[in-house]
Structure 1
Amino acid sequence: MFAYVLKRLGLAILVALAVSMIAFLLLRLSGDPAIAIAGEGARQADIELIRQTYGFDRPLPIQYLDWLGKSIRGDFGDSIYFKTPAAPLIFAKLQTTLLLGFLALAFALAISVPLGVLAAIYRNSWLDRLCLAVAVVGQALPNFFFALLLIMVFSISLRWLPVSGSDSWLHFVMPTIALGYYVAPAFMRLIRAGMIEVLEADYIRTARAKGLPASIVIFKHALRNAVVPVVALAAVQLGFLLGGSVVVETIFALDGLGYLAYQSITYKDFPVMQTIVLLLSVIYVVLTLASDIANAWLDPRIRVA
């Protein structure tokens, strides 16, 4: 187990470094940061002075190594637009994004697990087709369009929920539904397929032959083994929710990391953009590593392989 964890940890570090390098190069190719700092209409002499002051005239590999070294020490630079250090600004917004991500994941599991179990138990019935239809709609419906529908129904028509902001738990209801419903179909299909496979296993037939109640057979024996792959998918989907919340946070004006990323892109705030990409990539890698370790602990066959 220890050797498996070390192997996965080394791979995770390499992935994080590769992502940080790619993000750094892509952001540099998107525009000249010296021009963004100087502003439109600045003289060429001023731009060259800024380029020399911040070291933008050095080769890109040297700039990347310098930025990576400072990032490891916790120095992510200063925001060009907000005129404050990037790290405190980002970590202040991260709490809202983490809360939204966990709420959306909980909502997705709350609707996908029951639907997946029902679809597996009543396979090829009208209930199975109804559950699959719910999954198809959730996968095909863009979350920004679904978010606008929620606003039209629950905010404009019924006036039950606030349109924007993050002051109370009511402000998170529609963003949670809009973000969580988009990832729920993947869980539902995985649980359905796992339950169908497990329900045909020999130990399930043995449990039924012993006369155990159907609820114990399904929830204690079948579902317990069918949800093992969900652990890995949940970690991956949580990383996707954190990184993909930009649109939803922008629509509902949530004061989170996604909305900050939208602002930094709009104002070409390179230090903030780089830090957000690095932070989200590290979180995604850590979640994937945690899911691999959890799966290896739950299923010994993984670490043996």
Structure 2
Amino acid sequence: MARYLVQRLLLALGVIVFVSALTFALTEATVDPALAVAGEGATEEAIQQIRRQYGFDRPLVERYLGWLGGIASGDLGESYRMRRPVADIIGEHLPVTLKLGFLSLAFAILVAIPLGVLAAVRQNTWIDRFALSVSVIGQALPNFLFALLLIIVFGVNLRWLPISGSGTWQHFVMPTIALGYYAMPALMRLTRSGMIEALEADYVRTALAKGLSPGTVVFRHALQNAILPVVSLGAVQFGFMLGGSVIIEVVFGLNGLGYLARESIRRADLPVVQSIVLLISFFYVVLILLADVLNGLLDPRIRSTGA
């Protein structure tokens, strides 16, 4: 198990370093940081002075290593526009995005796994067809369109829920459903296919032949094996929710990382954009790492092979 953990940690570290280098290079190549700091209408002399003052005239690799060293010491730099530490700005917006991500994942799991189990146990029935229909609609319907439909029905017509803001739990109901519904089809289909494969296995037939109740066989034997890939997919989906919440946060007026990223890109605030991309990538990699470790604990075959 120790070797398995070391392999996964080294892989995760390599991915984070690669993403940080790619993010820094792409953002620096897209926008002139000196011009972003000086603002529109600045003279060439002012731009050159800022370039020397901030060290933008140094080689790209040297600036990247300095930026990476600052991150290692907890310094994410200073926002060009707000003139405040990036860490403080992100800290103000991160709780909203994390709350939305956790709620959306919980909603997706609580709906997808039971529905997938029912669809597998009741194959080729109306329950199975309903589950597959929900899956198809969930993947075909863009989340921003679904979010607008929720606003029209529950916010405008019925007036049950607030349309924008993040002051109360009611403000998170529609964003949670809109973001979670987009992740639900993949989780449901994977649960269904895993359960169908598990229910057809020899050990399940043996357990039934020994007189175990169908509920015990389904939940204690079949589901335990079918849930392994769902754990990994759930971690990936949570990372996707953190990174893909930009549209949902903008639609519902949630002042989270997604909204901050949009505004920072529009204003060419590179330190904020770079830090947000790196932070979301870090969450994504750590979640996949935790999923791999959990799968290794649940299935000894994984950690013994190092797969």
TM-score range, shorter chain: over 0.9
Deviations 1:62-99 (A, max 9, x none): 11111111111111111122221100110221111111
Match in the other structure for 2:199: 199
1:88 aligns with 2:110: no
- Aligned partners of 2:125, 2:102: CA distance in 1, in Å? 33
Deviations 1:153-181 (A, max 9, x none): 11001000001000000000000000000
Q: Secondary structure at the match of 2:36?
A: helix
- Aligned partners of 2:265, 2:153: CA distance in 1, in Å? 31
Match in the other structure for 1:130: 130
Match in the other structure for 1:296: 296
User: Offset at 1:187?
Assistant: 0.5
Q: Secondary structure at the match of 1:120?
A: helix
Instruction: Write the mapping of 1:179-194 to structure 2, written as runs, cut at 5 A.
Output: 179-194=179-194
- Aligned partners of 1:150, 1:38: CA distance in 2, in Å? 42
- Aligned partners of 1:91, 1:284: CA distance in 2, in Å? 18
Paired residues in the alignment total 305
Match in the other structure for 2:8: 8
Structure 2, unaligned stretches of length 5 or more? Answer: none
Match in the other structure for 1:263: 263
Match in the other structure for 2:142: 142
User: Offset at 1:220?
Assistant: 2.0
Give 1:182's aligned amino acid: Y
Give 1:33's aligned amino acid: P
- Aligned partners of 1:295, 1:39: CA distance in 2, in Å? 50
TM-score, normalising length: structure 2: 0.97
Match in the other structure for 1:224: 224
Give 1:295's aligned amino acid: N
Give 1:230's aligned amino acid: V
Give 1:79's aligned amino acid: S
Deviations 1:190-240 (A, max 9, x none): 100110011011121122223322222212221122111111111111111
Match in the other structure for 1:63: 63
Give 1:185's aligned amino acid: P
- Aligned partners of 2:57, 2:176: CA distance in 1, in Å? 44
TM-score, normalising length: structure 1: 0.98
- Aligned partners of 2:93, 2:64: CA distance in 1, in Å? 25
- Aligned partners of 2:218, 2:77: CA distance in 1, in Å? 54
Give 1:24's aligned amino acid: F
- Aligned partners of 1:161, 1:80: CA distance in 2, in Å? 37
Match in the other structure for 2:242: 242
- Aligned partners of 1:97, 1:243: CA distance in 2, in Å? 9
Match in the other structure for 1:283: 283
Give 1:276's aligned amino acid: I
Deviations 1:105-131 (A, max 9, x none): 000011111111111112223321221
Instruction: Please tell me the root mean square deviation across aligned C-alpha atoms, in Å.
Output: 1.0
Q: Secondary structure at the match of 1:115?
A: helix
Q: Secondary structure at the match of 1:227?
A: helix
User: Offset at 1:287?
Assistant: 0.8
Task: Judge which range, 132-141 or 223-232, deviates more.
Answer: 223-232
- Aligned partners of 1:291, 1:230: CA distance in 2, in Å? 10
Deviations 1:14-34 (A, max 9, x none): 000000000111111221111
Task: Judge which range, 201-210 or 229-238, deviates more.
Answer: 201-210
Give 2:181's aligned amino acid: Y
Match in the other structure for 1:171: 171
Q: Secondary structure at the match of 2:84?
A: coil
User: Offset at 1:59?
Assistant: 1.2
Structure 1, unaligned stretches of length 5 or more? Answer: none
- Aligned partners of 2:217, 2:302: CA distance in 1, in Å? 25
Task: Judge which range, 258-267 or 217-226, deviates more.
Answer: 217-226
